[in-house]
Chains A and B, each alone.
Chain A
Amino acid sequence: MTVASPDVAARLARLRVEHAGAIRQARLFVWTFARSASAMVGLVLVLAFLVLAAGGPSIVPYPDDATGAMNLAARLQPPSGAHWFGTDEMGNDILTRVVVGTRTSLWVGLIITGVAALIGVPLGVAAGYLGGAVRQVIMRVTDVFLSVPGLVLAIAIVAALGSGVLNGVIALSLVWWPGYVRLIEAKTLTIKHEPFVEAARAVGASRRRILFIHLLPNCFSPLIVKMSMDMGLAILAAASLGFIGLGAKPPAPEWGAMISVARTYMPTWWWYAFFPGLFIYLTVLGFNLFGDGLRDVLDPRASRS
């Protein structure tokens, strides 16, 4: 330890020098982000949902209720000290079910935006960078997808595949990508004509090098921003599928499915629908504010009009 430390210290010092620019940039990001109250609210909400999702069944008061136990003695109780969010028609603790549902929702949102980006980014880059007929074909197909309302198309796909969480996710992923093609194509088109790309061509850089070193890294900022904003929307869409009975099925603790059952108990047993709804609302809000804050940090030109 004592022998290695001067060497480690020297290496650290060198790293600090070589990454001084990156460190300063990171500090500027944090500073800009922290100055916006709404971005910080978004960050807190997103972090809170991440904690709830990570904790899941192990942090809730009634873990057994998560998968749908039966406790008819305690059915439809209003919020109280024992059941903060009240209980449902089976006597299950709604707090437990809503918190456990967080994990499902975040996974669903992550997979949908992830798959959409995986499909959309390569297509967008191909359309923007190669241009010509390739671009025409990709963009016209994208236009066709964009012209059909996404949720309606997803419902049709689920109807064909059969209902269930997994099929819902597949269907939504398949309708979610066109936005990414549009975004990345536009970004690629602008970057392609930047002098630094021309400079790379002038020193003989290959197409692959231009693509991976000059184009893609400069697409990351708007991509991250869009993905974080889409997380909320994807969660909302998945909950909508659950609500109309095409996504998760009761008694699975999924927010949309919970509201779907709960609406028959409105308005007397309002808390049954209210708390899952509140969670959907807060996740969508949280990811939107977070994404907005990220845009101010990563893509300042887009937010300044």
Chain B
Amino acid sequence: MSLLEVVDYSLAFDGFEGTHQVLDAIDLAVDVGETVGLVGETGCGKSVLAKSLLKLNDIPPARILSGSIRFDGRDLLALDETALRAIRGGGIAMIFQDPMTFLNPVFSIGDQMAEVIRARDRADNRKRGARDVRAAAAALLAAVRLPDAAALLDRYPHELSGGMRQRVLIAMALAGHARLLVADEPTTALDVTIQSQVLALLADLVAAQGLTLLLISHDLGVIGALCRRIVVMYAGTIVEDAPAAQLFDRPLHPYTQGLLAAVPDIGRPERRLAGIPGSIPNLLAPPAGCRFHPRCPLAIERCRRERPALRRIAAGQRVACHLAEPV
């Protein structure tokens, strides 16, 4: 059974100029132990989708138009605040680009870790003394390879570097025994050498603890490094969903092809980069039919009229394009 199941989920934002169709009929299932990458450019809706998993989008201005989100068999959209809080602490953990938004500047790292650990203990009907909780916190910090974990417990978030803060958040996710880790651009704000440390850590945790990972990034390199499966989003729709190696070797959607042709590759400097002409559509009035058709070099009449369904084309590969042929 899938751990996470998003079915026909559509979300809109009401604004000054009208209604933005931000997510359109999203279909996505993530199995236990999978590492799935969600990739796309600004405004494609990948972060909105990630927040939707924890109902973190404010309603209004957001409005759910259709669909359901199930986590571990439970309908998340039907849960009340209390039940959601339990899921946010325990079932699904989220880490963001800027860890400071999720660390309270006035409490020490140890206090904030202890809070998560105690919440988990309450859920498990377990009682521990302050010293045991502290030891557990230190052990978790050591597990995310933070040096000198015991001393770190008494430090405050602002005394830590960006890479260290991101690790503290990962440690908190571990403390809550999260089954699904949603990481939204976790290394975008970090330097490359620190990025490799954090990515290597995430890879090890996924392998060692059986964590399910949904990684959101604009960087195909980061996604490729960690994820076995890649989901490509464009203008609020999923355009392609494929095993990572297959997606890089044989992208079937014209947008995925365009995206790959635009990424500079340090190993292939002779390759000329090609941008995708035009710009992302205005989601107030998204293009009829396929949302990519105004920028698509292959578009035919049918693309202008008819919205392509996300079809299974090859083993494990789904594509939303009228022109994609089974291989």
Contact = CB atoms under 8 A, between A and B. Distances in A.
Direct contact of A and B (CB under 8 A): yes
4 contacts: A27-B16, A28-B16, A31-B16, A32-B16
A32 to B, nearest CB: 7
A91 B60 CA distance: 55
A31 B61 CA distance: 14
Nearest to A35: B16
Interface in B1-48: 16
- Count class of interface residues, chain A: under 10
Interface string A257-289: 000000000000000000000000000000000
B103 to A, nearest CB: 16
Interface in A13-67: 27-28, 31-32
Nearest to A32: B16
A188 B321 CA distance: 52
Contacts of B16: 27-28, 31-32
A31 B14 CA distance: 13
A-B CB proximity, top 4 nearest:
A31-B16, A28-B16, A32-B16, A27-B16
Interface string B183-210: 0000000000000000000000000000
Contacts of A27: 16
Interface of A: 27-28, 31-32
Nearest to A28: B16
B13 to A, nearest CB: 14
A181 B177 CA distance: 52
A76 to B, nearest CB: 53
A96 to B, nearest CB: 44
Nearest to B16: A31
Nearest to A29: B16
Contacts of A32: 16
A27 B18 CA distance: 13
A32 B17 CA distance: 11
A265 to B, nearest CB: 51
A27 B17 CA distance: 10
Contacts of A28: 16
A28 B17 CA distance: 9
A161 B16 CA distance: 53
B178 to A, nearest CB: 27
B325 to A, nearest CB: 45
A28 B16 CA distance: 7
A27 B15 CA distance: 13
A89 B10 CA distance: 69
A31 B17 CA distance: 10
A129 to B, nearest CB: 29
A164 to B, nearest CB: 49
A28 B15 CA distance: 10
A28 B18 CA distance: 12
B56 to A, nearest CB: 16
B93 to A, nearest CB: 24
Contacts of A31: 16
B264 to A, nearest CB: 24
A86 B16 CA distance: 47
A228 to B, nearest CB: 22
A179 B148 CA distance: 46
A145 B115 CA distance: 44
A31 B16 CA distance: 7
A27 B16 CA distance: 9
B104 to A, nearest CB: 14
B99 to A, nearest CB: 18
B171 to A, nearest CB: 27
A21 to B, nearest CB: 14
B224 to A, nearest CB: 33
Nearest to A30: B16
A182 B58 CA distance: 34
A297 to B, nearest CB: 11
A32 B16 CA distance: 8
B100 to A, nearest CB: 14
B57 to A, nearest CB: 15
B260 to A, nearest CB: 32
A162 B178 CA distance: 72
B60 to A, nearest CB: 11
Nearest to A31: B16
A20 to B, nearest CB: 14
